[in-house]
Amino acid sequence: MDGKDRQILRELQRDGRLTNAELADRVNLSPSPCLRRVRNLEKAGVIERYVALVDREAAGYPVTAFVQVTLARHDRVVVDTFEQRVRETPQILSCHLLTGSSDYLLQIVVAGLDDYEIFMRETLHTTPGIATINTSFVYGTVKDIVELP
């Protein structure tokens, strides 16, 4: 990847709906080489996919929680069962493996505290192998971006 590829990535992260002609103009390339570079970035897996960013509150999910989960055991069955449950649960936006006192950090969105209670009772509490759950609710956001530097 060179500087021109990084310019392309920067522009596409800002607006993934740019036409190839608009993108080429912004990065000072002609359309054919620009398209070739974009296709190469896609083929190499640098560009994974194109998505629309949706306002959580406007979409009916104003409550965000970060949940730390510690497993009781770390055998293959417990880990696989937990991670499969995470993959199947739409309210869980992200799940990260951690070092430190917790095993996982989940980012969860729900419509309200009642929905969070249902989520806990029907999803996490019914998942075998969980030892502890620690929840922190977001009451404000200082920075939330998806663009890589």
Domain that holds residue 115: 63-137
- Residues 94-140 pLDDT 10s: 999 999 999 999 999 999 999 999 999 999 999 999 999 999 999 99
With left for phi above 0 and alpha for psi between -120 and 50, is residue 46 left, alpha or beta? Answer: alpha
Decide if 101 is inside a domain. Answer: yes
pTM, two decimal places: 0.89
What tens digit of pLDDT does each residue of 44-54 get? 999 999 999 99
In a domain, 111, yes or no: yes
**pLDDT bracket for residue 27 (50, 70, 90):** very high
The pLDDT value recorded for residue 50 is 95
Contact 21, 31 (CB under 8 A): yes
Q: Domain total for the chain?
A: 2
